[in-house]
């Protein structure tokens, strides 16, 4: 691949709602610039960007991919990201590696929930952005309607730079409002703008020029005095306006027909900022002081590992964005996060799944390296003599959980390493062992996210698993106080077993934990046996006394007892303590507790009523509602048992237009009419397991 200087590079992340044609645009960009000779199709599973077997099978993007192409001597690193909500972790990584965003909108559907999400990600990263109204060849495509929606949602700074020539089956190209020329066909042949576009062209051009002029005092003075601004002045002004975020150019295309693509690439090349034009990046040195970095090939080395991928043949592949300095192959660097050295062998430029070897990657460019020992997503590689740490990449919070069970004994042995590898590859996954249910829990962003992960574990690591809805970690506590005097006595020839304990059980405040005390007087229970009583109590609490659910938030006081000089032992007192606790619980008015979660649901106004009704049916309690433009943010609490599959339920309820986050809040008492059913079910399952 040709070498490019920093000012010749554009890093553009492609964002948008699922199904708007982001991958088709990436493919068309490669085809239009001659990088490929035959344009693949998502439906055929042969695009450069979607090469993963799961992407081919599902016909959606699952992982980000890098699609570099050249336009007018400029290298544009297109970062194609998924639009499906389950894979937003990949989007976060792509945004971090970019200097500008191209938000893709469907010409029929207009602004969707994924559009808002994409805009929010670009806002968080302060990315300059462009908007592509794609699929102009579709039936009912309406550019003017899409522009109106965009301006209503995101402001008048969203203004067309291109106007489509024709629409639906008659779409043939675009009119450029700066150059005032028409560009038609796959090769964007220049010509005159059709008279039929007259009113649209004049209206949109006036809006565009006014916004450009407002970015510069000299330009606005000329504009207000009625002087015509030159093409060079307009282009320079638009470049400045895009970089500052005061103008968001709207473009048009039909990606599957390669119409409008050449002009979009030209716009990105001309008006998107280079890495050097994005200003300073703030990092930390080893004393936690600020370091200001620019995309200078001669600056201190600072390389961000923004994605990690496991390849069956090559091993671990690390995607890199060089923030400062020049990254050389066949070298040694320092991982500032892990405080370890890394040996760098061959560097590569990525084109989808293909790798093109390179000797170096300059500041601002994107590349990859294989088989790094310690480096994971979010780490910084630098020179050992000058440690620098870049800000980590924030991953979305998982909202969907499944229990993972190995299919065979062989799978059990490989399960732990495989889970470690997939969570390293995808930081938006979480794995933990639930101590209350003894299950391994895999958490992700949705059902598809977990299913794809399981498929990858089988394909890449040879581990097959069953996925099941996790058991709800119910707990038991008490509301009253009780006492019991329990004697454990067993005689079987020779030394027997004897221990008598008298305990009092009382409730603690919710989340108050467990407390064990002893008020033994006169040595009725020798001191050496008291810890055994406590151990027996604690084990009985964990094993559970109702439906095998653990006992929490209680105080146990040992106030009397008796030993036998021959038959008493630590084991005898441990058993007595456990049995005394179980006997006490029955008389202390036990209740069942269930985990309650906080939900934050972002939903279109049109579906808010459906979501609220559904929450009510799930025993949810709405805590508040906040309007956000055309969306409503619903804050609610609900029992975990009712929302184990909420990601699937919400998607079905809103046609995929809503999303949510979920986190553990606290425990509450289960309503009495449900508690007994839960206990009976758990005890029946326990008996079945024993038999």
593-673 and 400-468 share a CATH fold: yes
Architecture in CATH of 593-673: 2-Layer Sandwich (3.30)
What is the rounded CA–CA span in Å between residue 472 and residue 641? 6
Q: Does domain 476-588 have CATH number 3.30.230.10?
A: yes
| Confidence (pLDDT) at 544 | 81
Give the CA dihedral 490, 495, 500, 501, nearest 10 degrees: -110
Residue 1 has pLDDT above 70, yes or no: no
What is the rounded CA–CA span in Å between residue 14 and residue 631? 23
Residue 690 has pLDDT above 60, yes or no: no
- Whole-model pTM: value is 0.85
Please write the tens of the pLDDT for every residue from 585-596: 989 999 999 999
400-468, which class in CATH? alpha beta
What is the rounded CA–CA span in Å between residue 608 and residue 599? 14
218 Cβ contact list (under 8 Å, min separation 6): none
End-to-end CA distance of the chain: 67
Confidence of residue 685 (pLDDT cuts 50, 70, 90): confident
Q: How many helices (H) and strands (E) does the chain have?
A: 16, 37
| Confidence (pLDDT) at 164 | 96
β-bridge mates for residue 356, sequence order: 349
Q: Given 1.10.3720.10, 3.30.420.40, 3.40.50.20, 3.40.50.300, which CATH number is that of 6-197+247-278?
A: 3.40.50.300
Residue 301 has pLDDT above 80, yes or no: yes
What DSSP string runs through 435-447? TTTTEEEEEESSH
Please write the tens of the pLDDT for every residue from 257-300: 999 999 999 999 999 999 999 888 999 988 788 999 999 999 99
- Per the CB < 8 A criterion, the answer to whether 330 and 345 are in contact is yes
Residue 199 has pLDDT above 80, yes or no: yes
- Per the CB < 8 A criterion, the answer to whether 363 and 323 are in contact is yes
What is the rounded CA–CA span in Å between residue 110 and residue 144? 10
β-bridge mates for residue 660, sequence order: 601
Q: What is the 3-state secondary structure (H, E, C) of 457-483?
A: HHHHHCCCEEEECCCCCCEEEECCCEE
What is the rounded CA–CA span in Å between residue 74 and residue 268? 9
Beta strands in 73-199 (DSSP E): 74-80, 100-106, 129-134, 158-160, 162-165, 173-176, 181-184, 189-191
Mean pLDDT, to the nearest integer, of 129-153?
96
Mean pLDDT of the chain: 92
Q: What is the 3-state secondary structure (H, E, C) of 307-371?
A: EEEEECCCEEEEEEEEEECEEECCEEEEECCCCEEEEECCEEEEECCEEEEECEEECCCEEEEEC
- Per the CB < 8 A criterion, the answer to whether 182 and 191 are in contact is yes
> Of 16-30, 44-58, 476-490, which range is least confident?
44-58
310 Cβ contact list (under 8 Å, min separation 6): 316, 317, 421, 422, 424, 425, 456, 460
Please write the tens of the pLDDT for every residue from 460-504: 889 999 999 999 999 999 999 999 999 999 876 667 899 999 999
Largest CA distance in the chain: 114
Candidates 19, 4, 47; CA nearest to 352 is 47
Architecture in CATH of 281-389: Beta Barrel (2.40)
Q: What percent of the chain has pLDDT over 70?
A: 98
In which residue are the tokens 């099978």 written? 57
What is the rounded CA–CA span in Å between residue 297 and residue 363? 5
Confidence of residue 168 (pLDDT cuts 50, 70, 90): very high
| Domain extents in the chain | 6-197+247-278, 281-389, 400-468, 476-588, 593-673
Confidence of residue 433 (pLDDT cuts 50, 70, 90): very high
In which residue are the tokens 């006490």 written? 584
451 Cβ contact list (under 8 Å, min separation 6): 467
Pairing state of beta strands 9-16 and 100-106?
parallel
Confidence of residue 688 (pLDDT cuts 50, 70, 90): low
Mean pLDDT, to the nearest integer, of 235-260?
96
Could you tell me the sign of the dihedral formed by the alpha carbons of 419, 423, 426, 428, in that order? Answer: positive
């Amino acid at each position: 691949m040709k070498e490019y200087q920093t000012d010749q590079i554009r890093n553009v992340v492609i964002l948008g709602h699922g199904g708007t044609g982001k991958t088709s645009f990436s493919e068309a960009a490669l085809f239009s610039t001659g990088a490929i000779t035959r344009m693949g199709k998502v439906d055929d599973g042969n695009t450069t960007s979607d090469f993963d077997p799961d992407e081919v099978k599902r016909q959606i993007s699952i992982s980000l991919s890098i699609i570099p192409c050249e336009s007018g001597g400029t290298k544009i690193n297109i970062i194609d990201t998924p639009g499906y909500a389950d894979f937003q972790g990949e989007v976060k990584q792509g945004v971090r590696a970019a200097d500008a965003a191209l938000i893709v909108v469907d010409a029929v559907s207009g602004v969707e929930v994924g559009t808002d999400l994409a805009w929010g990600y670009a806002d968080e990263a302060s990315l300059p952005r462009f908007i592509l109204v794609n699929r102009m060849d579709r039936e009912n495509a309406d550019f003017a309607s899409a522009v109106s929606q965009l301006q209503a949602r995101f402001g008048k700074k969203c203004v067309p730079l291109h106007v489509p020539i024709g629409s639906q089956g008659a779409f043939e190209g675009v009119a450029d409002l700066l150059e005032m020329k028409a560009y038609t066909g796959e090769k964007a042949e220049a010509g005159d703008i059709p008279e039929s576009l007259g009113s649209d062209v004049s209206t949109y051009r006036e809006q565009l020029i006014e916004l450009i002029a407002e970015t510069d005092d000299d330009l606005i003075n000329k504009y207000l005095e009625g002087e015509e601004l030159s093409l060079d002045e307009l282009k320079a002004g638009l470049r400045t306006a895009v970089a500052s975020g005061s103008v968001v150019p709207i473009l048009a295309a039909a990606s599957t027909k390669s119409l409008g693509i050449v002009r979009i690439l030209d716009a990105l090349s001309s008006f998107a900022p280079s890495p050097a034009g994005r200003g300073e990046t703030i990092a930390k040195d080893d004393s936690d002081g600020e370091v200001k970095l620019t995309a200078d090939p001669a600056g201190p080395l600072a390389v961000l590992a923004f994605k990690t991928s496991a390849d069956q043949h090559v091993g671990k592949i690390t995607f890199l964005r060089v923030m400062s300095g020049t990254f050389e192959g066949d070298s040694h660097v320092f991982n500032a996060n892990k405080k370890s050295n890394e040996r760098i062998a061959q560097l590569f430029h990525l084109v989808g799944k293909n790798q093109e070897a390179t000797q170096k990657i300059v500041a601002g460019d994107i590349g990859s390296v294989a088989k790094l020992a310690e480096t994971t997503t979010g780490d910084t590689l630098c020179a050992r003599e000058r440690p620098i740490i870049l800000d980590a990449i924030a991953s979305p919070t998982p909202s969907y959980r499944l229990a993972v069970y190995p299919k065979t004994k062989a799978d059990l042995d490989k399960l732990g390493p495989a889970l470690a590898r997939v969570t390293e590859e995808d930081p938006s996954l979480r794995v933990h062992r639930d101590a209350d249910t003894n299950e391994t829990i895999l958490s992700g962003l949705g059902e598809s996210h977990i299913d794809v992960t399981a498929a990858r574990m089988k394909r890449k690591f040879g581990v097959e698993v069953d996925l099941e809805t996790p058991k709800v970690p119910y707990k038991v506590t008490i509301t009253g106080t009780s006492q019991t005097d329990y004697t454990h006595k067993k005689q079987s020839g020779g030394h027997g077993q004897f221990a008598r304990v008298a305990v009092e059980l009382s409730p603690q405040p919710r989340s108050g934990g467990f407390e064990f005390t002893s008020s033994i007087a006169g040595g009725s229970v020798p001191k050496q046996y008291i810890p055994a009583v406590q151990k027996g109590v604690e084990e009985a609490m964990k094993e559970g006394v109702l439906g095998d659910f653990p006992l929490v938030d209680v105080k146990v006081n040992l106030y009397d007892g008796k030993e036998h000089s021959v038959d008493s032992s630590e084991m005898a007192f441990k058993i007595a303590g456990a049995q005394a606790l179980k006997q006490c619980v029955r008389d202390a008015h036990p209740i069942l507790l269930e985990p309650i979660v906080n939900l934050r649901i972002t939903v279109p106004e049109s579906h808010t009523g459906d979501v609220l009704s559904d929450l009510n049916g799930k025993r949810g309690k709405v805590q508040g509602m906040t309007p956000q433009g055309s969306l409503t943010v619903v804050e609610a609490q609900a029992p975990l048992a009712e929302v184990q599959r909420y990601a699937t339920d919400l998607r079905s309820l809103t046609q995929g237009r809503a999303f949510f986050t979920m986190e553990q809040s606290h425990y509450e008492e289960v309503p009495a009419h449900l508690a007994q059913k839960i206990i009976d079910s758990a005890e029946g399952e326990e008996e079945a397991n024993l038999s």
